[in-house]
Amino acid sequence: MLGYDMKAVPRITRRAAIATASATMALRQVHAAESPALRLGILQFGTIQWVADVIRRHALDRKHGFTLDTVMLANIDAGRVSLMAGASDIVVSDWIFTAVQRASGTKLSFAPFSSSSGGIMTAAQSPIRSLADLRGRKLGVVGGPVDKSWLIVQAAGRATQNIDLATAATVVYGAPPLLGAKLKQGELDAVLTFWNFAAQLEAAGFRQAVSVAQCATALGISPRMSLIGFVFHEDWAKAHRATVDGFLAAVADAERLLAQSDAEWQTIRPLMNADTDALFTRLRDRFREGIAHEDTAGQTKAADKMFAVLHATGGSRATGGIDTLPPGIFWPPEHEAT
């Protein structure tokens, strides 16, 4: 019989396990130290927080050669300030902001994030089924007179229904929660609202009569165009190309997980501020609808068409004071896009 001390085996095993764990932790620390950090500005209740959580839990940042750091922001304007002040490397904003800054000499770039869009919400039993049905109705519009979705809806009304909604309907402007409450109380016949607030109304039993995506399609604008995306300084991106490409690849991986896995959504549910199963499901499904993106060429083509619609409908106020789109807004540069 071999002379093994069996009592010593557990001690040896524990020592080996501790040593292995220490070595693994050390390797991770070295890897993190070697990986460049990327500072992503996120809103506390923004959907980018969902994606950032997936990236971190699955170590998709390490997989793609960078370390994700997050900078918490109070609102979209704070994000823009953070980017311009150099406190964040990337923030989520819209391509019109990117275009305005680029036209003024600050070379920002835009990479697609979400093509989710809102719509015109109404009661389940409402007779409103089309834009023409809004004639003589009380319509709530979020975002103000030059909100992009509202201008697209107005343009679609003129082009497809020969109706000027700004005069044919009684329009009330306001914040999404306020207008949603007025719709529920019966003070409004319909509300044009953002996609996440549309999800809340759907969860409460209301339905979408017309989507902004349908209106865009009627105007020849791709519904896959992203109004919201990742915005960053072009010079910084060129100097840190591997980091930017790694970040966008990690986002794509995270979106694939969210598109395919219901279990992944259960994990991020605490971040979604969804207090009912119905709201959780509608937020999940609407987010998934916005995952598909156009490539650089498609984004550029769609942006040209949308800019023309916005300018024709709302004037320069709707386009941030510019009359033409500057070149090179979308990332990667068109000559590099595949």
- Provide the pLDDT for residue 337: 53
What is the three-class DSSP state of 16? helix
**Cα dihedral sign, 328-330-336-338:** negative
- Provide the pLDDT for residue 335: 64
- Provide the pLDDT for residue 287: 96
Task: Give the residue ranges of the chain where pLDDT is below 70.
Answer: 1-33, 335, 337-338
User: What are the distances in angstroms from CA 244 to CA 40, 83, 293?
Assistant: 11, 15, 18
Contact between 235 and 149 under an 8 Å Cβ cutoff? The reply is no
Write out pLDDT tens, residues 31-73. Answer: 445 789 999 999 877 899 999 999 999 999 999 999 999 999 9
Query: What whole-number distance in Å separates Cα of residue 4 and Cα of residue 175?
Result: 75
Write out pLDDT tens, residues 182-198. Answer: 999 999 999 999 999 99
Do β-strands 170-174 and 190-193 pair in parallel, antiparallel, or remain unpaired?
unpaired
Query: What whole-number distance in Å separates Cα of residue 84 and Cα of residue 92?
Result: 13
What is the three-class DSSP state of 212? helix
Query: What whole-number distance in Å separates Cα of residue 294 and Cα of residue 305?
Result: 14
**Cα dihedral sign, 100-104-110-113:** negative
Give the CA radius of gyration of the chain: 24
User: Which domains, ranges and CATH numbers included, belong to the chain?
Assistant: 35-115+225-319 (3.40.190.10), 119-218 (3.40.190.270)
Query: What whole-number distance in Å separates Cα of residue 97 and Cα of residue 101?
Result: 6
Phi and psi for 326 in degrees, rounded to 5? -75, 155
- Provide the pLDDT for residue 7: 37
Q: What strands lie across the sheet with 170-174, from one edge to the other?
A: 170-174, 138-142, 190-193, 119-122, 207-211
* Residue 250: both structure tokens together: 């990690």
Residue type, 315: G
